[in-house]
Structure 1
Amino acid sequence: MTWNLGKEGMKMIHVENLTKTYDGKDVVKGISFDVQAGEIFAFLGPNGAGKSTTVQMLTTLIPISGGRATIQEFDVVKQEKQVRLQIGVALQDTGIDEDLTGLELLVLQGKLFGLSQTEAKKRAEELLQLVGLDQDGKRRSGTYSGGMKRRLDLALTLVHQPTVLFLDEPTTGLDPASRLQIWNEVRRLNEEFGTTIFLTTQYLEEADQLADRIAIINEGELIAEGTAAELKAANGEERIELTLVEKEDERIVIETFAGRQEKDRLVIPSRGTETLRAVVRFLDERKIVATSLVVKQPSLDDVFIRLTGQAYKEES
């Protein structure tokens, strides 16, 4: 199985001043970004931030109010048909006909894209093997587990060998084991075939694990973009968390290291091993006993809270 994936280093997705207006109100406010060929790009934002609207515009599901977007150099507005041939879209609701088998659904999808019966059956068998459903292809899809349905939906988006795959919250509602299976399939598509993947997700850990780069949208505006490491370095905080035996010792530790109280622990901003050594030396010299002391690296949760002012909501 081979993919026509475009040239290495090309802008697979180009977005320039993209705007969406509803009832005179801009819900997406002139955002711009690029996704390179072969990247996994995560698009994050609070509920109502504009991420789903952006995905719907890029996938030609709703019209663009202003600005411009291209998929593999095809204009999303002027060359809508060509764009649709370049993309695969897996939405949160799969919409699978549960009376048909996995094989039948894939064959039907192939025929809709112009393949002959023989070609469609061959492609279906290849894709069932790709997503680990080759032993279940002749079972009615209504008997599949949630994770199996997600993998079948993923296979359905790949029938026409898209250059760009849009995954809208692909693991929402799945148990941890099924979520890991989907992660593995996404990595495999990207690593083995070089598929460019545009991912929206409710899970910050998912973006951290999978994405080459991340963009964060808030109130319709793009407020940050970069690798997970870059975002953490620019917006996160390495810190030392400790709990002390004697409560009266907390004040002097906070004052000495510009710390703060958070729930049942003290938090000290850290600048690496130098700060850690200073804290340990201070506690030892003053005979202050700590029941726990942990160095924590900045997380995407920290980044998200700092940039948007709210915690990222994960729904089951």
Structure 2
Amino acid sequence: MEPSPSPAASSPPLAIEVKGLVKRFEDVTAIAGTHFEVPVGQCVGLLGPNGAGKTTTVEILEGLQHPTSGEVRLLGLRWDKDEAELRERIGIALQETRFHDRLSVEETVRLFRSFYRKGLSVEEAIGLVKLEEKRNAQVVKLSGGQRQRLALAVALAADPEILFLDEPTTGLDPQSRRALWDVITGLKGKGRTVVLTTHYMEEAQVLCDQVIIMDHGRIVARGTPAQLIASIGGEQVIDFSTTPTLPAEAFAEVPTLVATHSRGDGYTLSVKELHRALPGLLSLVSARGAHLVHLSTRQATLDDVFLASTGRSLREDAQS
């Protein structure tokens, strides 16, 4: 009889390990004991409302802050013992990066590449983000999307094993956003690990193998996008508003209702069977003497998971 494989042999190698992470700022607890793991080659999305602790978590992973307690390992290494090696093996692209306006794209990438002992060639880094035609252009003449791609090229200069992307597509037009998605997908194909923070739920749903939602310093939901969407129980969603506005309890009798959430000036209903729920909703609204101002239906998304987990929409949080 053959021996069964050990857990270590059957489990994928881990790029990130977080155990019991706590961070306090005087009387404020920003992170209240989180645990998670990210296998090598995955893209993990870290999401949460403002003040949820996600930015602090990422800054600790990046070595920019020290935890109050708990353990963090990247590629099996620790910041308190292996900082020099870790700096050579990670890359960071911020939401907004300032470069010298008068340097060209090639000069900028060459400068940052010189900080590392090994990595990509300047040509490879520029090619990965598809800036070949702009290699001689000065930074000041680049569009917003091109600057974001330059920031990504700089982050890729050392050919990092873990890449941190902080809101990489905020403010970009759809074409530029899609171009960056293609770059990130290509990195995953090369076995690189990506940590992504974003306010675009579609972005997380397309790119991420694993999504972690934080609120009040704790992880409130975690799983693949498909698992998280399935976890809220309702496959279909009805968004609507009425005049006059009706109380939430008015919709408790909607057939196959899973959950009701306030959203802006209306409601979002998660339901299992749209063909039964919709006629029931219309009957209830009419019986209350109200009128529909708006109504739309759609498939459940990660934004509905975020709403169910935190009580607000990520889009609303981004605008607050």
Specify if TM > 0.5: yes
* Contact 1:42 1:201 (C-alpha < 8 Å) held by counterparts: yes
TM superposition shift of 1:271: 3.0
* Contact 1:43 1:200 (C-alpha < 8 Å) held by counterparts: yes
Structure 1 134/33 Cα, relative in aligned 2: closer, same or farther at 3 Å?
Answer: same
Structure 1 241/66 Cα, relative in aligned 2: closer, same or farther at 3 Å?
Answer: closer
Specify the alignment match of 1:68 in structure 2: 71
**Is 1:207 paired with 2:211?**
no
> Can you list the C-alpha shifts for 1:38-67, whole angstroms capped at 9, x where unaligned?
001000000111111111111111112110
Specify the alignment match of 2:86 in structure 1: 83
**Is 1:40 paired with 2:43?**
yes
Specify the alignment match of 1:238 in structure 2: 235
* Contact 2:45 2:196 (C-alpha < 8 Å) held by counterparts: yes
In the alignment, residue 312 of structure 2 is paired with which amino acid?
Answer: Q
Specify the alignment match of 2:116 in structure 1: 113
Specify the alignment match of 1:3 in structure 2: none
Q: TM-score, normalised by structure 1?
A: 0.81
* Contact 2:44 2:209 (C-alpha < 8 Å) held by counterparts: yes
Greater Rg, structure 1 or structure 2? 1
In 1, distance between residues paired with 2:238 and 2:121? 54
Uncovered stretches (5+) of structure 1, i.e. residues with no partner: 1-6, 244-251, 284-289
**Is 1:176 paired with 2:179?**
no
Structure 1 160/145 Cα, relative in aligned 2: closer, same or farther at 3 Å?
Answer: same
**Is 1:226 paired with 2:223?**
yes
* Contact 1:240 1:276 (C-alpha < 8 Å) held by counterparts: no
Shifted more, 84-93 versus 263-272: the winner is 263-272
Shifted more, 74-83 versus 206-215: the winner is 74-83
In 1, distance between residues paired with 2:261 and 2:115? 61
Q: TM-score, normalised by structure 2?
A: 0.80
In 1, distance between residues paired with 2:202 and 2:253? 34
Specify the alignment match of 1:306 in structure 2: 308
In 1, distance between residues paired with 2:77 and 2:261? 53
TM superposition shift of 1:255: 4.7
In the alignment, residue 112 of structure 2 is paired with which amino acid?
Answer: Q
In the alignment, residue 179 of structure 1 is paired with which amino acid?
Answer: R
> Can you list the C-alpha shifts for 1:83-128, whole angstroms capped at 9, x where unaligned?
211110111121222211110111111222136xxxx8x8111111
Specify the alignment match of 2:57 in structure 1: 54
Which residues in structure 2 correspond to 1:101-180 (within 5 Å)?
A: 101-114=104-117, 123-180=121-178
TM superposition shift of 1:26: 1.5
TM superposition shift of 1:25: 2.4
* Contact 2:109 2:122 (C-alpha < 8 Å) held by counterparts: yes
Match of 1:217 among 214, 219, 226: 214
- The Cα RMSD (Å) is 3.5
Q: Secondary structure at the match of 1:100?
A: coil
Aligned length: 293
* Contact 1:208 1:300 (C-alpha < 8 Å) held by counterparts: yes
Specify the alignment match of 1:276 in structure 2: 275
TM superposition shift of 1:188: 1.4
Percentage of identical aligned residues: 35
